[in-house]
Every structure is written in structure tokens, then in C-alpha cells.
């Protein structure tokens, strides 16, 4: 469920009119529902209650400090994948012992900062990375906890660009190599292997791939126990899908009912890393129609939001529902249009929706792109020297600006023209 609904033919976020927000703050504009974010977090927490999990929200989905702080205050940890996300985690007040750190390409500086901070553990993706963490920890005279990320080689039935658990992907360590590392863990003087980790992909709507991957992990844990190797945590990652169009994703309770019996016998502490499931349907992108362009073959609604604001359609051919912010009664019995919703970017791939059935719309009207809370602003850019959008969070009838729209000066703030080009 989410908190975006029509009232008196106008779209609302909680108790605030989206039309009024667009008029007040301009567009493009990201709008987030606080209560949707928290509701989705609590549903996972309750569903996995018997296991008392640590839920480490995946920062990459939406890294705004207000979103992070809202979840941290409810007991969430954070899953980070870069030094910048680690910085955000501490800026938002997350305790170090509720932070796990993934990424196949952690730099020495990033590793050193996380070791100094004493995070819960690194999700280690390769033997060279494990060696680097051991060496850096030794230099700092610390013993660092890590999890080995296993690549279970399962088919997650999602888009190939967001598949991470196949053996052909760059992520994780195969079972045989992981088992070998665990059996010689004593060779790493300043690293303790405390956990196993999997993450098989994103936007997965069926339980089968999770069941398959976790079953393989349970068998590995059993083999390790028989050989005297003990671990403390099992991190089952994230990847739960949401509704963008006609998907019928599993609920938190349905997912837990499949997974809890598998992990119960392990006796391990459980970590989850949801991102999209928590914030995906908690946010929308509001955009304004600049022009209605009619050609012999197509109708284009040219809007002021583009692929620099929401790249998912261009990158993955991803589907987002597009709906009018105001539904005018005069149009209810009139024939609609089939249109492409396209942005102002100088690329043919700059579209938000294709061949959509919409009511007849006019210049100046607002559209809402649904399901834009995850991988929306966090993947946005300044391509074409466009300013990134404003972000607001709604809490019942209160409105909070959680990121101001960039200024033109922000676009060039860190740039310099060499003196020789200035004739100096």
C-alpha cells in the first residue's frame, strides 16, 4: 500500500495536494510519503519477527538523509556500497554496529575509514579484497569482522542488468572458493569471518529464487558446522519486488513464511537488505507538460523531467505508471490519447513512458510518475547541464523540503578555468 490517492479528482500524498506541491515548489519534483516508508519497513520487521532480524536498508535505492534518518530512528541499520554512502550513514546518525558494507570495488581509503569506524562487517566479494582488508586492519592494529558474499548461481527471473547471483555476474564468491577460505580463515590474522551473505538481484517478484539460494546456503552452513567452522550471521540480502504495472509481488508475510523455516535450523542471526521494497512506492516524480506535439504517427507529451531525473525507463526499459495530477470531469466521457511521455534531453532514449493511454491533456498540466521512490533521485545526474530536482517529504499534512533544487551556480561550483585560458 502507499499514500498516493485521488481526492476530489486531485492526487494527494497523505493529506497534501500534489497539485499544490507542484505549484509551490516547481517541477520536476520528487515527493515522498513518510508513512509509506515506515509502513513498509515495519511490515518486514513484523513478518520476520521470530528471527529478530537486523534490517539494513539499502542506501543506494534512495540515499536522502531524511529517508535514512527516518529508518534509523525505527531501528534500521544501513547497507552501504561506497565511501560516500558510508559518510551519509554517519551523517544521518546510524550506529557503526548497524552498518554493513558491500561493493566489489572498495578502495583502500574506503576500507580504512570503515575499519576505523568499526562497522558491523564488510560483505567481501573476492579473495584479493579479503587480503586487502586483512592488511589494512593489521596496519591499524584492529581485527575486522567480515561476511563472505556467496554467488549461489541461481536465476532470479528479473532484468539482466539487475541480476547479481549468476556465476557470470561480477558479484560474490563461488561455493567451493568460499568453503576453502572458511577452512583456512586462521591464516587471516586481522580478519574474522563472522557471516555469509547473498544478494541475487533486484525487483524479484517470486519466492522461488530466494528459496533456492537460501537452501544452498543452509546446506553450506551444515557442511561447515560438520567441519567445525562456526559463523554468527546469515545475510540474505534484498531484492524484493514491488508493483510498477501488473506485477503481483509477494508480500512481506508471504516471503517470510517461505524463508523463516529454511533459516530456523541454522540458529544464526539474520540480516536483510531491502531497498526498493521500502521506498519504491513511497515516492513519485511530478513533471509538467511543456508541449503536446502531434505528428502523423505519434503524439508526444514533452515534459520537463527527463532521463537525467529518472533513468530507469531509458536504462532498463522499465515501466512506471504515469497519471494526471488532476482528473477533470469534463474528460471522463471523452476519447483519450495514446502518447509517448518524453523529456527535454537531447537523446532519443529520453522517455518516461511509451504508447500510454491517457486522457486528452494540455500544456501546463502536471503528471505524476509513480513508483519513483527507489533509483530515482539516487541515479539522477546533471546531464545536459540540467539542475537536479527538489525533494519533499510529506508527513500527514506537513511538508518538509529534504533537498533543495540545485541552482545554476551549483552546476559549475567545483569547476575552474585555467589561468592561461583567461589570458593571465
Residue 266 grid coordinates: 541454522
Query: What are the distances in angstroms from CA 240 to CA 191, 249, 265, 277, 315?
Result: 31, 8, 23, 6, 20
Which residues touch 418 (CB under 8 Å, ≥6 apart)?
Answer: none
CB 88 within 8 A of CB 60: no
Segments in 227-311 forming alpha helices (H): 252-264, 276-279
**Rounded to whole angstroms, how far apart are CA atoms 300 and 291?**
8
Which residues touch 162 (CB under 8 Å, ≥6 apart)?
Answer: 201, 202, 203, 316
Residue 285 grid coordinates: 516524480
Residue 314 grid coordinates: 531509458
Query: What are the distances in angstroms from CA 125 to CA 95, 121, 153, 199, 359?
Result: 23, 12, 14, 11, 49
Q: Which of 13, 56, 94, 346 is catalytic?
A: 346
**Rounded to whole angstroms, how far apart are CA atoms 294 and 288?**
17
Return the closest-CA partner of residue 376 out of 295, 298, 275: 275
Q: How many CB atoms lie within 10 A of CB 139?
A: 12
Is 346 considered catalytic here? yes
Return the closest-CA partner of residue 406 out of 28, 120, 49: 28
Residue 370 grid coordinates: 509513480
**Rounded to whole angstroms, how far apart are CA atoms 418 and 403?**
32
Catalytic residues: 346
Amino acid at each position: 500500500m502507499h499514500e498516493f490517492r485521488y481526492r476530489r479528482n486531485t492526487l494527494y500524498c497523505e493529506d497534501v495536494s500534489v497539485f499544490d506541491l507542484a505549484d509551490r515548489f516547481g517541477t520536476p519534483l520528487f515527493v515522498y510519503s513518510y508513512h509509506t516508508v515506515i509502513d513498509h519497513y515495519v511490515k518486514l520487521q513484523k513478518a520476520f519477527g521470530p528471527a529478530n532480524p537486523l534490517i539494513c536498508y539499502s542506501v543506494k535505492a534512495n540515499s536522502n538523509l531524511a529517508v535514512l534518518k527516518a529508518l534509523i530512528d525505527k531501528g534500521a541499520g544501513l547497507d552501504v556500497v561506497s565511501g560516500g554512502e558510508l559518510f551519509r550513514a554517519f551523517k544521518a546518525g546510524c550506529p557503526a554496529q548497524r552498518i554493513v558494507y558491500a561493493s566489489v570495488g572498495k578502495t583502500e581509503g574506503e576500507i580504512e575509514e570503515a575499519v576505523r569506524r568499526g562497522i558491523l562487517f564488510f560483505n567481501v566479494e573476492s579473495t584479493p579484497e579479503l587480503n586487502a582488508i586483512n592488511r589494512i586492519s593489521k596496519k591499524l592494529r584492529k581485527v575486522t569482522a567480515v561476511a563472505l558474499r556467496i554467488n549461489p548461481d541461481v536465476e532470479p527471473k528479473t532484468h539482466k542488468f539487475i541480476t547479481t547471483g549468476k556465476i557470470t555476474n561480477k558479484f560474490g564468491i563461488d561455493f567451493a572458493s568460499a568453503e576453502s577460505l572458511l577452512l583456512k580463515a586462521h591464516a587471516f590474522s586481522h580478519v574474522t569471518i563472522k557471516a555469509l551473505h547473498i544478494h541475487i538481484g533486484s525487483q524479484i517478484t517470486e519466492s522461488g529464487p530466494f528459496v533456492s539460494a537460501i537452501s544452498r546456503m543452509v546446506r553450506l552452513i551444515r557442511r561447515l558446522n560438520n567441519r567445525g567452522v562456526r559463523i554468527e550471521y546469515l545475510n540474505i540480502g534484498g531484492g524484493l519486488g514491488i508493483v510498477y504495472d501488473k506485477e503481483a509481488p509477494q508480500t512481506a508475510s508471504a516471503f517470510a513464511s517461505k524463508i523463516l523455516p529454511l533459516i530456523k535450523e541454522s540458529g544464526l542471526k539474520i540480516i536483510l537488505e531491502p531497498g526498493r521494497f521500502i521506498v519504491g512506492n513511497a515516492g513519485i516524480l511530478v513533471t509538467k507538460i511543456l508541449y503536446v506535439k502531434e505528428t502523423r504517427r505519434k503524439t508526444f507529451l514533452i515534459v520537463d523531467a527527463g532521463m537525467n531525473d529518472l533513468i530507469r525507463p531509458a536504462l532498463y526499459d522499465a515501466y512506471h505508471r504515469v497519471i494526471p495530477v488532476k482528473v477533470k470531469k469534463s474528460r471522463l466521457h471523452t476519447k483519450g490519447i495514446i502518447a509517448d511521455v518524453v523529456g527535454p534531453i537531447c537523446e532519443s532514449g529520453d522517455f518516461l513512458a511509451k504508447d500510454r493511454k491517457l486522457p486528452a491533456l494540455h500544456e501546463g498540466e502536471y503528471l505524476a510518475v509513480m513508483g519513483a521512490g527507489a533509483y530515482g533521485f539516487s541515479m539522477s545526474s546533471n546531464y545536459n547541464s540540467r539542475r537536479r530536482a527538489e525533494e519533499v517529504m510529506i508527513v500527514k499534512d506537513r511538508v518538509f523540503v529534504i533537498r533543495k533544487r540545485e541552482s545554476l551556480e551549483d552546476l559549475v561550483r567545483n569547476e575552474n578555468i585555467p589561468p592561461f585560458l583567461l589570458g593571465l
